[in-house]
Amino acid sequence: MHVALLRSVNLGKQRKVSMAALRALFADLGYPGARTYIQSGNVVFAAPGEDEAALAVKLRAAIEAMTGFEVAVVVRSAAAWEEAVRACPFDPGEVNVAAAFLGAEPRPEGLAALRARDFGAERWTVVGRTLYQTVPDGVKNVRLSHALIERQLGCPATVRNWRTVLAVGEMLRPAAG
């Protein structure tokens, strides 16, 4: 199982992507049974043996052809997602946490530039291809935004709150039975 995370869709009146159309697109691409979680572009699908980076490129092109606009896509396998949940250095029970899923390894000089900045009460760290951040004032008021993350780290990033991270994790687990 994999999850495709679309960046910045359905946030306002523009960049609308129907989840039903997205599921149909995945079926047309050979991934029947794709499931979506909420309207923010989280698609769980089966793609046995396929590489995350290659899937991201393929999906980005197909989604652009369908919508007419470019959408960054980050893909994680179920195992990588589970590892990202386990690796969270913050306690989501004590503080609001968000995770920025990176489309590539971050640039070391970009990490250094972020470390030199003051983000007030927000704390953050990178583990592999995930940037974890505390969001004491909520995700809408973050100082370390996804745009800044992308610009500094030199790779696509898409942010999810911890509730979404856990819900997608549940969707990625095999059904008991």
pTM: 0.90
d(CA 47, CA 86) in angstroms, rounded, equals 23
For residue 104, the 8-state DSSP code is S
Residue 177 belongs to some domain of the structure: no
Among candidate residues 24, 53, 79, the one where a domain is terminated: 79
Token duo for residue 49: 């043996």
Q: What is d(CA 136, CA 64) in angstroms, rounded to the nearest whole number?
A: 34
Residue 39 · residue 20 · CB < 8 Å: no
CATH number at residue 27: 3.30.70.1280
Domain that holds residue 48: 2-79
Cα–Cα distance, 56 to 41 (Å, whole number): 13
Q: What is the chain's pLDDT, residue by residue, as a tens digit (177 residues)? A: 999 998 866 556 777 778 888 899 999 999 999 999 887 788 999 998 889 999 999 999 999 998 888 888 999 999 999 999 999 999 988 899 999 999 999 999 999 999 999 999 999 999 999 999 999 887 778 899 988 999 999 999 999 999 999 999 999 987 544
The CATH code of the domain that includes 111 is 3.30.70
At 8 the three-state DSSP class reads coil
What is the number of H-type helices and E-type strands within the chain? Answer: 6, 8
- DSSP reduced 3-state for 24: helix
